[in-house]
Structure 1
Amino acid sequence: MTELVPVFDGHNDTLLKLEIAARLGRPLTFAQANATLDIDLPAARKGGFAGGFFAMFTPSRLDRFGVDFDYDDPSNFDPISQSEALNFTLAMFARMRRLERELPEDLAICEHAADVRSAIGRNRIAMIPHIEGAECIDTELNALEVLHAAGLRSLGLVWSRDNAFGHGAPMEAQPQLDPGQGLTDAGFELVRECDRLGILVDLSHLTEAGFWDVASTTNKPLIATHSNAHAVSPSGRNLTDRQLSAVAESGGVVGLNFHVGFLRADCKQCRDTPVAQMIRHLDHMIGILGENGVALGSDFDGCLLPREIGGVAGLPILVAAMRDAGFGDALIDKICHENWLSALEKSVPIPAA
């Protein structure tokens, strides 16, 4: 049997799915196999999942998100208040902490690349706290200080809805990418403060205008945790070759999103999307970003996955497809974990003793 390649993944929404299920009175158990979850502990072990950025996102409504999400329903993109988002985010932080306490031999919350390497070495799944959409942060950035102290090390300024800091990219097809609106004054200040604190700034979900605003402001490598190549799939959520080139010039990383609508040339929501389409994106991105600039950003538990992948246990299928496409072991290791760890080392330094 081929040895599993450890995968450190750029994005999942598993905490969100657990939180929503509990609030709807249908709690899920992460420690046991569960068909409702893309990531549960047995499936993670089967697929070689070594950890990743565990996202905390506050949905506009609970009854549909992650279960039967309708991208055409505007109520799923309604704005939410800062207090509501902060309360929801704190609940997910607490859920993550409780999971670690309940499963100390299986999970480890990490803040730096060294923590991740240590956790993987001890056969623990490494969890880096990530917030997707900064609605929970006030414009005075007081909440940012507290969340950083709680372990926040990665922040997506927006989800695909506008907030006080910037504007979200649409999820539908956009053959000619609309640059949209960029960061607000508060958004520029948030980027600068994240740089100071050592919080990775995630460009996924930002408009193109917002992307360039971050690029002109940050002094860290550009990072998109779960985005694909617009030249291969013309979704408004994907990155143009010019954007990919900017990430490459900064020494940054882009994580391949597994969502079928961001993989396909027609942007359709179709599970019968071949794994070969994922390889097309990887090939295209490697051609621009180089071997050190491409990783995985699955969006497990937050997207519609290719049927062949199915969930985290299907990661070896993607690894096998990479091998069949001529990717060598060293490149596969970079894509599957090393490039994210390198990005963490550059953007989230270990504090001086």
Structure 2
Amino acid sequence: MLFLPVRVKGQDYRKWHEEAIVVDLHNDVLIAMMRGMDIADDLSSRTHSDLRRFKAGGVDAQFFSVWCDQKYGPGKAFRYANRQIDSLQAVIARNPDKIMLVQRPEQLYEAVKQKKLAAIIGIEGGHMLEHKLANLDQLYNRGARYLTLTWNNSNTLASSARDENRGSLPSAKKGLTEFGQQVIRRMNGLGMLVDLSHVGEKTFWEAIHTTTKPVIVSHSNVYRLAPHYRNLKDDQIKAIAQNGGVIGLNFNSVFIDPGFNARQNSFLKKHQAEVAALQKSGKSKASILAILARKYPQEATLVRPPLSKLLDHLDYIVKLVGVDYVSLGSDFDGITATPRELNSVADFPLITEELLSRGYTQQDINKILGGNFIRVWKAQSKE
């Protein structure tokens, strides 16, 4: 594909965006909901996401991530996962004209037809199974349609990218466990998507060789452009294409731009007296950054990479393996620093504008925004 600049009229990109089925593979706003917020309310000053902004951004289908960290051990994690699903279902019950639970591709099309947000559930972290296949079945029956084998923590299924990168695991502990293989085989049987974001390289390769269905990588980017352990190396990208899977690009600045951390550290150093005072008061780094961003908005904006940097990752994948294997997995409400132009889910149309300016055709854009994922999802039900 040639990427030639073209003149784009505002109405053209918005029209193309509205005509496409837009699917986001990863959003963490359930975390905010567990803290008492309601996405039916206007949460503009508090989150990246709410129902009004999903509509404004032309988002047709959203994977809501069910997440907890390793602090939720046996007896806690599975129960907490179900509580998050309860909270999502409660929102759906209160807003039946705006959002519906979707468990099959044909239901997604029905949601689009009815102009409702298609809510799909993803489980981010195999530790929530608590080493029980029956728990996987129960989560599937409640609507979960993908499982991320690990979060940052390794578990009884597999080793994580963070742990493998830190070198904190002996070789015998790296990769997919026997239980992890059982889980993948069960997911293949159920028609549940295997998500390989967050997993270590050894786990990745063993999972690719175990699954009989196309995989997803719900929220990761290109290692060659941003060498972070959460990103994918070229041979992994090629393996996903050969598998028939899809990669959802993550909007997290640190996974997009290798210069981001240095700029952020300079920003913090410039305001080190205020940082020290906030640290003394018990504020976390994320809270400190949020406070400083509100106080110094122009400076904070320049710390973040431009949208073009994110689209460079997309171009790279397309040039490496083709346009059929890339999608979007924003990680909104699970990250603190997004590209400058992407401040909330309402800004998804700007991605379409950038794709058009880079010479992508309407067919390409339809694939990237949702078609590639829908193809993979449909493939789960095929023998």
Q: Give the TM interval when normalised to the shorter protein.
A: 0.7 to 0.9
Q: Which residue of 2 aligns with 1:65?
A: none
Q: Measure the CA separation in 1 of the matches of 2:114 and 2:23.
A: 15
Q: Measure the CA separation in 2 of the matches of 1:274 and 1:184.
A: 40
TM-aligned CA deviation for residue 137 of structure 1 = 0.8
Q: Which residue of 1 aligns with 2:234?
A: 241
Work out which of the residue numbers 118, 127, 131 in structure 2 matches 1:126. Answer: 118
> Contact conserved, 1:247 with 1:289, CA < 8 A, in 2?
no
Rg larger in structure: 2
SS for the counterpart of 1:54 is strand
Q: Which residue of 1 aligns with 2:312?
A: 280
Q: Which residue of 2 aligns with 1:317?
A: 350
Which sections of structure 1, spanning at least 5 residues, go unmatched? 23-27, 61-78
> Contact conserved, 2:63 with 2:121, CA < 8 A, in 1?
yes
Q: Which residue of 1 aligns with 2:102?
A: 110
Which sections of structure 2, spanning at least 5 residues, go unmatched? 1-10, 265-302
TM-aligned CA deviation for residue 199 of structure 1 = 0.8
> Contact conserved, 1:39 with 1:311, CA < 8 A, in 2?
yes
Q: Which residue of 1 aligns with 2:365?
A: 332
Q: Which residue of 1 aligns with 2:246?
A: 253
> Contact conserved, 1:235 with 1:267, CA < 8 A, in 2?
no
Q: Which residue of 1 aligns with 2:340?
A: 307
Letter in 2 for 1:283: D
Please, what TM-score do these two structures have when normalized by structure 1? 0.87
Q: Which residue of 2 aligns with 1:215?
A: 208
Work out which of the residue numbers 186, 189, 193 in structure 2 matches 1:196. Answer: 189
Letter in 2 for 1:309: L
Q: Measure the CA separation in 1 of the matches of 2:310 and 2:369.
A: 14
4+ residue runs over 6 A deviation: 171-174
> Contact conserved, 1:171 with 1:237, CA < 8 A, in 2?
no
Q: Which residue of 2 aligns with 1:12?
A: 27
Residue 49 of structure 2 is aligned to residue 39 of structure 1: yes
> Contact conserved, 1:135 with 1:164, CA < 8 A, in 2?
yes
Q: Measure the CA separation in 2 of the matches of 1:262 and 1:348.
A: 32
TM-aligned CA deviation for residue 289 of structure 1 = 3.0
> Contact conserved, 2:226 with 2:257, CA < 8 A, in 1?
yes
TM-aligned CA deviation for residue 288 of structure 1 = 2.3
Aligned positions, number: 323
Please, what TM-score do these two structures have when normalized by structure 2? 0.80
Q: Which residue of 2 aligns with 1:66?
A: none
Q: Which residue of 1 aligns with 2:323?
A: 291
After superposition, the C-alpha distances for 1:289-328 in whole angstroms (9 at most, x for unaligned) are: 3111110010111012122110111111121111111111
SS for the counterpart of 1:258 is coil
After superposition, the C-alpha distances for 1:36-94 in whole angstroms (9 at most, x for unaligned) are: 1211111111111112211100135xxxxxxxxxxxxxxxxxx5313211111011110
TM-aligned CA deviation for residue 144 of structure 1 = 1.2
Letter in 2 for 1:291: V
More contact order relative to length (CA 8 Å, sep ≥ 6):
2
Normalized per residue, the structure richer in helix is: 2
Q: How does 1:41-190 map to 2 (within 5 A)?
A: 41-60=51-70, 79-170=71-162, 181-190=174-183
> Contact conserved, 2:163 with 2:200, CA < 8 A, in 1?
no
> Contact conserved, 2:260 with 2:304, CA < 8 A, in 1?
no
SS for the counterpart of 2:140 is helix
> Contact conserved, 2:77 with 2:130, CA < 8 A, in 1?
no
TM-aligned CA deviation for residue 236 of structure 1 = 0.2
> Contact conserved, 1:171 with 1:235, CA < 8 A, in 2?
no
Residue 378 of structure 2 is aligned to residue 345 of structure 1: yes
TM-aligned CA deviation for residue 343 of structure 1 = 1.1
SS for the counterpart of 2:339 is coil
Relative to 1, partners in 2 of residues 1:343 and 1:267: Cα closer, same or farther, differing over 3 Å? farther
SS for the counterpart of 1:327 is coil
Seq. identity, %:
30
After superposition, the C-alpha distances for 1:203-260 in whole angstroms (9 at most, x for unaligned) are: 0000010000101100001210111111111010000000000001111100111100
Letter in 1 for 2:26: H
Q: Measure the CA separation in 2 of the matches of 1:231 and 1:261.
A: 13
Q: Measure the CA separation in 1 of the matches of 2:94 and 2:353.
A: 33
Segment drifting more, 340-349 vs 91-100: 340-349
Q: Measure the CA separation in 2 of the matches of 1:45 and 1:138.
A: 36
Q: Measure the CA separation in 1 of the matches of 2:259 and 2:174.
A: 25
Q: Measure the CA separation in 2 of the matches of 1:173 and 1:155.
A: 22
After superposition, the C-alpha distances for 1:72-118 in whole angstroms (9 at most, x for unaligned) are: xxxxxxx5313211111011110111111111011111111111111
